[in-house]
Structure 1
Amino acid sequence: MRKLSWAISFGHGRPAGSASAFSLERAVASQATWWDKTPWEEPDRGFIWYPDPMDPKPERKKDVEPPPRPKTIYEMTTLEEIKKELERIKGDAVVNPTEEKVLAFLRAQNWVMDKASLFADVSRRAVWRNPDVNYAARSPVANFAVQNARQRQTQERKDTIKALASTHGILYFARSDCNFCKDQSPVLKAFSTATGMPVLTISMDGGPISMFPDAKKTTVSRLLARATVFKRFLPSFSSIVRPGK
Structure 2
Amino acid sequence: MNQNKRYFLPAMAALALTLALAPIVSSAQDPDTRTTAVRSAPGPGPRYWSDNWRGWHFYEEPEPSDETDPPRKRQPSSVPAAPAQRRAPELVQFEALQKTLEQYRNIAIIKPTEANVRRYMELESKIVAQASHFADVAQRVAWATPELDPTLQGRPVNAKAIEVFEQDQLTTRSAAMAALGKDHVLFFFFRGDCPFCHAFAPTLEAFQARYGINVVAISVDGGPMPGFPNARADNGIARTLKVTQVPAVFLAQPYSGKISPIGFGVLSESQLLERISTVAAPATQEMAPGTNKHIVLR
User: Which TM bucket (shorter chain)?
Assistant: 0.5 to 0.7
Post-superposition CA distance 1:186-242 (Å, at most 9, x none): 33223223322211112233331233122124xxx3x53996986734333322235
2:192 aligned counterpart, secondary structure: coil
Please identify, of 140-149 and 126-135, the stretch whose mean Cα deviation from structure 2 is larger: 126-135
Would you say the 8 A contact 1:90–1:105 is kept in 2? Answer: yes
Match of 1:234 among 246, 254, 270: 246
Name the residue aligned to 1:145: 161
Asked if residue 113 in structure 1 is aligned to residue 128 in structure 2, the reply is yes
Q: Structure 1: which 5+ runs fail to align?
A: 1-74
Distance 1:208 1:225, change over 3 A: farther
Letter of the structure 1 residue corresponding to residue 252 of structure 2 = I
Post-superposition CA distance 1:38-71 (Å, at most 9, x none): xxxxxxxxxxxxxxxxxxxxxxxxxxxxxxxxxx
Match of 2:187 among 157, 171, 184: 171
Q: Structure 2: which 5+ runs fail to align?
A: 1-90, 256-298
Letter of the structure 2 residue corresponding to residue 205 of structure 1 = D
Alignment of 1:19-168 (within 5 A): 77-78=93-94, 82-139=97-154, 140-168=156-184
- Cα distance in 1 between the residues matched to 2:117 and 2:238: 71
Higher RCO (C-alpha 8 Å, min separation 6)? 1
Name the residue aligned to 1:205: 221
- Cα distance in 2 between the residues matched to 1:188 and 1:171: 10
Distance 1:87 1:182, change over 3 A: farther
**Identity level (%):** 30
Q: Which entry has the higher C-alpha Rg, 1 or 2?
A: 2
- Cα distance in 1 between the residues matched to 2:254 and 2:238: 27
Distance 1:235 1:99, change over 3 A: closer
- Cα distance in 2 between the residues matched to 1:160 and 1:106: 57
- Cα distance in 1 between the residues matched to 2:183 and 2:240: 32
Would you say the 8 A contact 1:173–1:201 is kept in 2? Answer: yes
- Cα distance in 2 between the residues matched to 1:241 and 1:135: 37
Match of 1:187 among 172, 193, 203: 203
Post-superposition CA distance 1:86-127 (Å, at most 9, x none): 244234324433221122112101210122122123323433
Post-superposition CA distance 1:132-191 (Å, at most 9, x none): 322334454432123212222233222222221232111223232334433432332232
**Between Structure 1 and Structure 2, how many residues are aligned?**
165
Letter of the structure 1 residue corresponding to residue 222 of structure 2 = G
Distance 1:144 1:106, change over 3 A: same
- Cα distance in 1 between the residues matched to 2:181 and 2:100: 61
Distance 1:128 1:239, change over 3 A: closer
Q: Normalized against structure 1, the TM-score is what?
A: 0.54
Q: Normalized against structure 2, the TM-score is what?
A: 0.46
